[in-house]
Structure 1
Amino acid sequence: MGLDARRDRDRVYQPAEDSDLLATAAREAASSTDRVLDVGTGSGYVAHEVAETGARAIGVDPNPHACREARDHGIETVRGDLTAPFAPDSFDLVTFNPPYLPTDPDDEADDWMGVALSGGETGRAVIEPFLADVGRVLAPSGHVLLLVSSLSDIDVVRERAAAAGFEASAVAEDSFPFEKLLILRLDPV
């Protein structure tokens, strides 16, 4: 691995337990004919796992280093914010492992890793705008797999999802000493 690749890797969220939980749920949910968007793709791990099912997976990330790393892993990647770069009704499945760690407003994310982890004061600063727009890019029978942490208040995320026109059901979970992770499947109502 060259110096530039190592430097990029230090600026990109690498797969962890939350990534594995989402990737497993996404592999189970995806079919070979699906068009899948992996929002906040980071290293491209979840998109790559979904592509292994035969689905066409595309990643989107605001971090140029993440886009480069995902492309290096064979993932078609767009640099952009959440679902904004995409046309209506474009995807059968959207996956998202958002930044969900609650952070003090005085501790602004000043680097790409901070951006990848910081969920704002409530842990939902990125989840809420995602929920507000993701329905636009879903095909009529599409659905969303959203990773949620107990640190960002799962019940409030469910309420926000309902307000955005989704029915939420848990399809996977994992517990750790400091948090519970849940994969919510969001279906348009």
Structure 2
Amino acid sequence: MTDGANERDGRNEPGDGLASLREVDDAVVYQPAEDSGLLAEAALAEAHGHVLEVGTGSGWVADRVATERGLEVVGSDLNPHAARQARERGVEAVVADLLAPFRADAFDAVCFNPPYLPTDPDNEWNDWMEHALSGGESGRELIEPFLADVDRVLAPGGVVLLLVSSLTGYDEVLDSVEAAGFDHEAVVEESFPFETLTVLALRRA
């Protein structure tokens, strides 16, 4: 193959195509941060059985739970770039809108670090990173439908691990948790200059 042909198909070496995909993915996939670390800490302590991580992003949390606890973990994300990056990490990952494709009583633990930044509609930026970060005007735009449906996929004796930011209105989230029929316990919490992050363990009341 000539050098000109290499330039046209965007590859100079056999592995460069995948490398280019990873560079694109890193720009549009949420990468591990402080909130990811807190969710991983809670999941390593509380998760059991068959585990689902909703909004898996790069798959970092799911991979830690699978490798350090030896659990069967599935990741889901609306972002196809995220699902691909998670699969490259070794996580079974599917493209999904929250819990839509999963059957009843399928998981013993469901983990979710939701997009939670309150965002004025005039400041939405309409790309994959917005989907990973923006929780709508209240910050709870995805938390509420998640809570309304998660009981369906949760097996008896299961636990939901939900990361909550003080930016979203902690008490309002607790009201939604209780309205969905769950008891709640804060299992990990850390304060930062502009917010407090808490991972709640939710169990059927």
Give the alignment's TM-score, normalised by structure 1: 0.97
The answer as to whether partners of 1:102 and 1:122 remain within 8 angstroms in 2 is: yes
Per-residue deviation at 1:78? 1.0
User: Any residues of structure 2 matched to 1:1-189 within 5 Å, and which?
Assistant: 2-31=19-48, 34-52=49-67, 53-189=69-205
Q: Which has the larger radius of gyration?
A: 2
How far residue 30 of structure 1 moved from its aligned partner, in angstroms, is: 2.4
What SS class does the counterpart of residue 15 from structure 1 fall into? coil
Distance (Å, rounded) in 2 between the aligned partners of 1:169 and 1:87: 26
| In structure 1, C-alpha distance between the alignment counterparts of 2:81 and 2:115, rounded to whole Å | 17
Q: Name the one with the larger helix percent.
A: 2
Checking the alignment, whether the CA contact within 8 Å between 1:109 and 1:118 is kept in structure 2 is no
What percent identity do the matched residue pairs reach? 59
**Structure 1 unmatched ranges of 5 or more:** none
Opposite residue 113 of structure 1, the aligned amino acid is M
Q: Which residue of 1 aligns with 2:8?
A: none
Q: Tell me, what secondary structure is at the counterpart of 1:170?
A: strand
Letter in 2 for 1:3: S
How far apart are 1:105 and its partner, in Å? 1.3
Unaligned runs of 5+ in 2: 1-17
SS in 2 for 1:172: strand
TM-score (norm 2): 0.89
Offset, 1:10 = 0.6
- Conservation of the 8 A alpha-carbon contact between 2:47 and 2:159: no
